[in-house]
């Protein structure tokens, strides 16, 4: 479990870095008088929007995984107590 969470964290960090780079490159293109600054701006905004959606989904997934782990831990504890009562 820890390994997969670490992998997801690293992947998220790399994706964030890429999204930030897109924003910086878009700003540089616009500053350098790109022939279509509106398109550059729109693409950069879309990347930012999708990044934010990805983060939201990752946070929701993390909450669900945490809730699942807690549920199974509780179920195991209840099962152990029940087994002890039966003996």
pLDDT in tens, 31-65: 999 999 999 999 999 999 999 998 899 889 989 99
What is the Cα–Cα distance from 73 to 27, expressed in whole angstroms? 49
In the chain, the number of structural domains is 1
Q: What is the pLDDT of residue 47?
A: 93
Give residue 30's domain range.
2-70
Does 78 reside within a domain?
no
User: Per-residue pLDDT averaged across 65-86, rounded?
Assistant: 86
Q: What is the pLDDT of residue 84?
A: 79
Q: pTM above the 0.75 mark? A: no
- Residue 15, Cβ density class (10 Å: 0-12 exposed, 13-18 middle, ≥19 buried): middle
Does 85 reside within a domain?
no
Q: What is the pLDDT of residue 14?
A: 79
Does 6 reside within a domain?
yes
Does 82 reside within a domain?
no
Does 80 reside within a domain?
no
Q: What is the pLDDT of residue 2?
A: 52
Does 19 reside within a domain?
yes
């Amino acid at each position: 479990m820890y390994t997969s969470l670490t992998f997801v964290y690293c992947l998220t960090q790399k994706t964030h870095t890429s999204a930030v780079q897109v924003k910086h490159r878009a700003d540089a293109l616009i500053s350098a008088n790109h022939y279509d600054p509106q398109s550059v701006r729109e693409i950069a905004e879309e990347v930012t929007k999708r990044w934010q959606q990805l983060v939201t989904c990752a946070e929701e997934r993390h909450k669900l995984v945490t809730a699942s782990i807690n549920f199974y831990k509780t179920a195991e504890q209840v099962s152990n107590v029940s087994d002890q009562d039966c003996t």
